[in-house]
Amino acid sequence: MPTLLNMTLKKSIKPSHLVKLAAIIAIAVSTLFAQETDAARWATLFANHYSFHPDIVYGTGNNIPLRLDVWERRHTNQPVPTVIYIHGGGWVFGDKAGADTLLMPYIQKGWNAVNVEYRMASQSLAPAAVQDTRCALRWVFRNATKYHFDTDRLVLTGHSAGGHLALITGLLTSDAGFDDYCPADPASDKPLHAAAIVNWYGITDVADLLSGPNRKTYAVMWLGGQPGSVDLARRLSPLTYVRAGLPPIITIHGDQDPTVPYSQAVRLHQALDKVKVPNELVTINGGHHGGFNDAQTEDAYKRIWSFLDDHVPGLK
C-alpha cells in the first residue's frame, strides 16, 4: 500500500475549503518530512492521488443538515482501508473543520478518511449526537462502492466526546433503540460494524459525569435535565455494551486528565479484558486532556499502528 498520497481539488470546493486544504498540505509537508526532497515529493504526489468531497449531507435532524467530508484515494478500483473521525467538544461545541489535520496520519498511509459532523447540545440534546454518528456509519456502508470504502477495514476514532462517539457507534447493538433515526434499507444495508476503534481519552460512563465527584458541566448540558436522564446516560455509555465479540479497542488517555477521568479508561480496559476483547490502554504518564508532547504523541501512534496491524486483517 502506498504511503505517499495525493489529491484532486474539485472545482466546486468553496474558497474557505481551499484555504483550509492549503494549510493542511503545508502542515503535512512540514511535519511528515524533514528533507526538502521528500517534502517536494509528498506535495507532488499529494496533488494527484486524492479527491476531497466536502459537506456531503448524510442525513437531517430537526431540519438541520448533517454533513461529512470524504477524502478518497484515487486511481484504484479496490476497497481502501477507511478511518471515520468524530470530533470532540463535550457534545456542546466544535465542528469537523478543526479535525482535518488529525486525519493526516491515516491519509499518509494511503487510507480513505471520513470526517463527521453531528448535532451539538444547543441544537438537539442527547441522544441526538449518537443517532447522528450511527447514521454516518450507515452512510459509509451504503456508499462503500462509490468511494471505495473497505467495510472490513473500517476504523472508528475520535478525541474526547469524539472518542465516546467512536466507541458507542462501534459498540451499540441494533436493538438499543438509537438506530431508528436512520430507517434501514434492506436493499443496501449490512449489519453495522467496525474493524477496530481508536479511542483518544473518550468518555466511557456518561452517568458517572452527571453527579458526584466526577460531575462535569458539559455532560449535564448534553443530557439537559431530561426525564430519566440517568437511565439515558447509562444507555449512552460504552461500558453498558461491553460483551464478547466486540471489535478490538485501543485507548490513549492521560493519567492526570481533569476533563475525562482516567479511571473511565481503566474501567473500560478491565471490562474488555474480562470478556476477552482484544484491547490496549496506552497511559500517558502525567498527561492531561490531550496536549501531549511530540514524543508522547509519536509513541501513541506507534502503539496504534502496531495494534491495528495485529488486529485488523490485511493492513500489514
In this predicted model, what pLDDT tens digit does every residue of 32-62 receive, in sequence order?
444 445 656 655 666 678 899 999 999 999 9
List of the chain residues with pLDDT < 70 = 1-47, 183-189
pLDDT of residue 98: 87
Which grid cell is 74? 484515487
d(CA 143, CA 205): 32
pLDDT of residue 46: 64
| 63 C-beta neighbours (distance < 10 Å), count | 6
- pTM score, two decimals? 0.89
pLDDT of residue 12: 44
CATH T-level topology, domain 52-311? Rossmann fold (3.40.50)
Count the residues in the chain: 316
Count Cβ atoms within 10 A of the Cβ of residue 174 and give its class: 0-12 exposed, 13-18 middle, 19 or more buried: exposed
Residue spans per domain, the chain: 52-311
Which DSSP symbol is given to 189? -
pLDDT of residue 288: 98
DSSP assignment string, 300-312: HHHHHHHHHHHHS
pLDDT of residue 49: 84
pLDDT tens-digit map of 104-132? 999 989 999 999 999 999 999 999 999 99
**198 φ, ψ to 5°?**
-110, 110
CA angle 20, 23, 29 (to 5 degrees): 140
| 12 C-beta neighbours (distance < 10 Å), count | 9
pLDDT of residue 31: 45
Q: CA–CA distance from 117 to each of 10, 36, 239 (Å)? A: 21, 35, 24
Helix, strand or coil, per DSSP, at residue 245? coil
pLDDT of residue 247: 98
pLDDT of residue 39: 58
Taking 3-state DSSP, the helix, strand and coil percentages for the chain, each rounded to the nearest 5, stand at 40, 20, 40
Cross-sheet strand order for the sheet of 80-86? 50-61, 64-73, 112-116, 80-86, 149-159, 196-200, 249-254, 279-284
